[in-house]
Amino acid sequence: MAPKTALSRREFVQTAGGLLIGFSLADASILPRVFAAALGDTVQTPSPARLDAWMRIEKDGAIRVFTGKVEIGMGVETGFAQIVAEELNVAPGRVSFVMGDTSLTTDQGGVGGSTSIMMGAKPLRNVAATAHALLLQLASQKLGAPVEDLQVRDGIVSVRSDRSKRVSYGELAGDGDLNDALQVSGRGFGLNVEGTGKPKDPADYTVVGKPLPRVDMAPKILGKWQYVTDVRVPGMLHGRVVRPESAGAKFVSVDEESVKAIPGYVKTVVNGNFVGVVAETEWAAMRSAQMLKVTWSAAEPTFPPQGTIYDYMRTATPKASRDSKLNKGDADGAIASAAKKVEATYDWPFQSHATMGPGCAVADVHTDGVTTIWSGGQKPHALQQGFAELLHVSPDKVRVIWVEDAGSYGRPGFEDAAADAVLLSQAVGKPVRVQWSRADMTAWGAKGPAVVCDLAAGLDANGEVTAMRFTSHAFSGSEINPLPSTAGNFLGGQLTGVPNTSGFDEFAQWGSECAAYTFPNVHADGHVVPGFLASSSPMRTTHLRDPEGPATTFAAESFIDELAAAAGADPIDFRMKYLDDDRMKTALTKAAEQYGWKKRPSPQKTTAEVSVGRGVAVGLRGGTRVATIAEVEVNRSTGIVRVKRLVCAHDCGLIVNPGALRGTVAANLIQSLGRSLKEEVTFDQSHVTSVDWNSYQVARASDVPERVEVILIDHPEIAPSGAGEPSSRPTAAAINNAIFDATGARVRQGPLTRARVQQAIAALHSA
């Protein structure tokens, strides 16, 4: 095969770069995002130590930024544009981005952990500030005026005293590449660079903090956007995978005759327990996957019966255990001698990412190992490492080009779909597009871990909390490392026999996965439950939006509510007493004001058939404070819960784009409402039985509260923290506490289904 044309980054920019234009923020004009498709050979990931690795200014004044960060549906690209435009004094519409291409962008660790604005925007801001300083120096020479006498308006530099003396960024940068050496520190999410330019004082911001429309929104709604599912390359075939019939089943044989008659069928690929089909059309690939007769080893009991899963978690020998760093005093002793002791256990199920697009990627593996992969996974540079290991080639032969996929919420399996495409393309020697089925995602995608928490507390005669005891048992949030940089990280890799070696123990911890309260004695410990299968488990666990946060916060914030009730205190007053964080207290106060919270203890005194209650919960994540109040209506006979209202006060420091932030928080509230009320992965002893949208229910239109109110607390003086995940934390506990307020019944297992609510109400009567 002839070697593909090598295109350097510079040539790329010169030849194809003109097509890579984003969208003008000003007029939201509609240009399709053009992929760097079939650009040719791979090149090394650029070093972050040079300014031109990050930014290029075109003759027409366009600012092109290259970032290892990617857009996963929350509008971060628009926020980045505002941050860069702010430092450069240009209209944000001039700034466009190339994101997540391992040959064109630096390795910023991809995205995750709600860190894109908090950490990922820093080098972009510093680069823009440095470019601004360099441009002013160039302008100073050109215009013959000192830098102090210059002003910039939308990329035009002029002399204050004589505005006829002017020059544009495009003219200045056109004199030669704008470049400078940068000081590099950190790596991954923490990669930062600093140059000669000093970023603006946030007090002087004029673009950051404005609710600009998202650059992607109008083109998406008008049907002018392209997702990874739309990538087509010349000669491309279509692939589908056929997963083992049961968890842990081994491949025995395949009868290719079962599909040979399907028009367009090309090949069945078997590699260990990895089975896939390749065809000329998507429809032929789908039919082939459905009709292919594969014999697997018999199903064996691999998982405990679902009804016993939480007992299993509490009694299984932990894989790892850890005491909290927040432990202090003698919690057990204080609880033993307390006037009142409160104990409760809380359970949270496995949940599925169940992404809207089930998983799709295109891979083009050449016989010499040179490979291009188009994927929507959150961490393109890690994928490059992982695919190189899967193919046994050096990483510089592998180019991963990120193209937006459906919202990912962590490590859903877009990575695994891309590995499947790599394996199939390698086997047929042609580019292959893999489209997962719904079941490939919902049943076989990685899962958010189940978590159980056992809590106890002591109260003295005055209702003061003297001690807190917290123990969690959770499947690891990183049994599958969210950084997909090894071959064994991928389901396809595991099916071909590569062990998963990169996973690690990630705990559900008091004080980090929930807000910590200042009790005099605290003892908290966490334990990781071993996974069921070492390899290829459909129940393997990994990051799902705020990995252990919703589960742990559900337990902790429901339990705090139990303590408030035991003390006969108003739930907000009670929390205020034990919180020592002023910003959290402010969030709580603002939420209460917005809601119109009347102080009284829960539960309210009513026996009405349909009762309304209110509940509160707080969440603290990576510096972001969230306080959520839910109002619910509960039917005591049927157990049906209807959330009528959600109020969420959100403080993530400096707000870059309040419009986009409001949208993200509101959506987080609804997604987490679905997780609170409905979402639970079901399984029998050999299979995940949640396979589609009927067997894995998420929030639907009828679940949406009549009122959803988001209060944004802006702190321009405080560096921004994350917003992608924090507001998904307190929702379940807020709703649960509202159910308690309405009925006096306490549910201690998620999701808060009708059956569980009914059961809790029935237990009230029998007690």
Partner 1 sequence: MARTTLKVNGKAHEVDADPECPLLYVLRDDLAMNNPRFGCGLGQCGACTVLLDGNAVRSCRLPIRSIGSKEVITLEGLSTDQSIDPVQQAFIEEQAFQCGYCLNGWVMTAKALLEKNPHPTEAEMRRSFESLVCRCGSHVGIFNAVRRAAESTKRSA
Least separation in angstroms between CB 95 and partner 1: 19
Q: Tell me which DSSP letter residue 198 carries.
A: P
Least separation in angstroms between CB 652 and partner 1: 17
Least separation in angstroms between CB 154 and partner 1: 24
Is residue 708 helix, strand or coil?
Answer: strand
Q: Which is nearer to partner 1, 21 or 28 (CB)?
A: 28
Q: Which is nearer to partner 1, 128 or 289 (CB)?
A: 289
Cβ within 8 Å of residue 148, ≥6 positions away: none
Q: Which is nearer to partner 1, 227 or 578 (CB)?
A: 227
Cα(691)–Cα(156) distance, integer angstroms: 57
Q: Which is nearer to partner 1, 483 or 660 (CB)?
A: 660
Nearest to 554 by CA among 720, 704, 722, 680: 680
Greatest pairwise CA separation for the chain in angstroms? 89
Which residues of the chain form contacts with partner 1 (CB under 8 A)?
Answer: 28, 72-75, 213-214, 216-218, 220-227, 229-230, 232, 238, 263, 281-284, 286, 354-358, 360, 404-407, 435, 437-438, 659-660, 663-664, 666-674, 692-694, 698-702, 704, 708
Q: Which is nearer to partner 1, 2 or 701 (CB)?
A: 701
Least separation in angstroms between CB 260 and partner 1: 16
Task: List the strands of the sheet with 265-271, edge to edge.
Answer: 265-271, 274-279, 237-241, 432-435, 360-365, 371-375, 398-402
Q: Which is nearer to partner 1, 276 or 395 (CB)?
A: 276
Q: Which is nearer to partner 1, 222 or 762 (CB)?
A: 222
Least separation in angstroms between CB 586 and partner 1: 24
Do the strands 293-296 and 351-352 form a parallel or antiparallel pair, or are they unpaired? unpaired
Least separation in angstroms between CB 667 and partner 1: 4
Q: Which is nearer to partner 1, 132 or 675 (CB)?
A: 675
Q: Tell me which amino acid residue 427 is.
A: A
What values do phi and psi take at 67, rounded to 5?
A: -135, 145
Least separation in angstroms between CB 570 and partner 1: 29
Cβ within 8 Å of residue 412, ≥6 positions away: 353, 355, 359, 441, 445, 446, 544
Cβ within 8 Å of residue 227, ≥6 positions away: 357, 376, 403, 404, 405, 406
Q: Which is nearer to partner 1, 325 or 700 (CB)?
A: 700
Alpha helices in 317-363 (DSSP H): 331-336
- ∠ CA 102-106-111, nearest 5°, is 85
What values do phi and psi take at 585, rounded to 5?
A: -65, -40
Q: Which is nearer to partner 1, 283 or 504 (CB)?
A: 283
Least separation in angstroms between CB 391 and partner 1: 27
Cα(245)–Cα(643) distance, integer angstroms: 39
Q: Which is nearer to partner 1, 53 or 660 (CB)?
A: 660
Q: Which is nearer to partner 1, 216 or 364 (CB)?
A: 216
Cβ within 8 Å of residue 582, ≥6 positions away: none
Least separation in angstroms between CB 80 and partner 1: 17
Least separation in angstroms between CB 534 and partner 1: 30
Q: Number of C-alpha atoms within 13 angstroms, CB side, residue 520?
A: 12
Task: Map 672-707 to HEC letters.
Answer: HHHHHHCCCCCECCCCECCCCCCCCCCCCHHHCCCE
Q: Which is nearer to partner 1, 360 or 592 (CB)?
A: 360
8 Å CB contact between 545 and 664: no
Is residue 433 helix, strand or coil?
Answer: strand
8 Å CB contact between 735 and 675: no
Is residue 255 helix, strand or coil?
Answer: strand
Beta strands in 155-260, from DSSP E residues, in sequence order = 156-159, 162-168, 183-185, 192-194, 237-241, 251-255
Q: Tell me which amino acid residue 135 is.
A: L
8 Å CB contact between 388 and 365: no
Least separation in angstroms between CB 96 and partner 1: 18
Cα(193)–Cα(195) distance, integer angstroms: 7
Which residues are registered as beta bridge partners of 98?
66
Least separation in angstroms between CB 23 and partner 1: 12
Q: Which is nearer to partner 1, 149 or 703 (CB)?
A: 703
Least separation in angstroms between CB 692 and partner 1: 6
Least separation in angstroms between CB 304 and partner 1: 29
Q: How many Å from the N-terminal Cα to the C-terminal Cα in the chain?
A: 77
